[in-house]
């Protein structure tokens, strides 16, 4: 390996290491296939078509991991807790979200190091989004007591 080859490897962003745009398209598409069939998570997405949510998550991930800054240009600061506040993110919802993301990540077949890097972030972010212990009803909102 030449010095320039070593430099090229160290200058790569995680976005590039994960596989760039195509990898994030694959990740979010597979993730939302799981969400679409999930009776707990699906009601948390008010849009009939999950395509816009898929695009937003993909753009967020791409920007977070060092790719294009399209998310910020279109949507501003992510403010993840604020954007998720209207929805009851319970421990069960978090675990279901992580399950669908794990299935999607497994299809990427990342190296163990890259998988651990992304999974650590996703777990941390998912735990941070939990905002209630009250289970959700079929409409995705907390059950009345």
Decide: 88 and 134 in contact? Cβ < 8 Å: yes
On the question of pLDDT at 88 being above 70, the answer is yes
The pLDDT of 70-97, averaged and rounded, is: 78
Decide: 32 and 50 in contact? Cβ < 8 Å: yes
- The domains found in the chain, sorted by start residue, are 14-129 (1.10.490.10)
Give Cα separations from 44 to 59, 73, 84, 110, 121 (angstroms): 19, 25, 9, 29, 22
The pLDDT of 125-143, averaged and rounded, is: 70
- In this prediction the pTM is 0.81
pLDDT class of 73 with cuts at 50, 70, 90: confident
Mean pLDDT (the chain) is 85
């Amino acid at each position: 390996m030449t010095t320039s080859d070593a430099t090229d490897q160290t200058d790569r962003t995680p976005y590039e290491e994960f596989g760039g745009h195509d990898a994030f398209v694959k990740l979010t598409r597979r993730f939302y296939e799981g969400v679409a069939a999930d009776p707990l998570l699906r009601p948390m997405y008010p849009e009939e078509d999950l395509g816009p949510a898929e695009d937003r998550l993909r753009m967020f991930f791409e920007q977070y991991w060092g790719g294009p800054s399209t998310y910020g240009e279109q949507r501003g600061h992510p403010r993840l807790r604020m954007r998720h506040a209207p929805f009851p993110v319970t421990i069960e919802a978090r675990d279901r979200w992580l399950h669908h993301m794990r299935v999607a990540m497994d299809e990427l077949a990342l190296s163990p190091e890259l998988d651990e890097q992304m999974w650590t972030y996703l777990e941390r972010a998912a735990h941070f989004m939990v905002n209630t212990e009250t289970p959700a009803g079929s409409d995705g909102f907390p059950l009345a007591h």
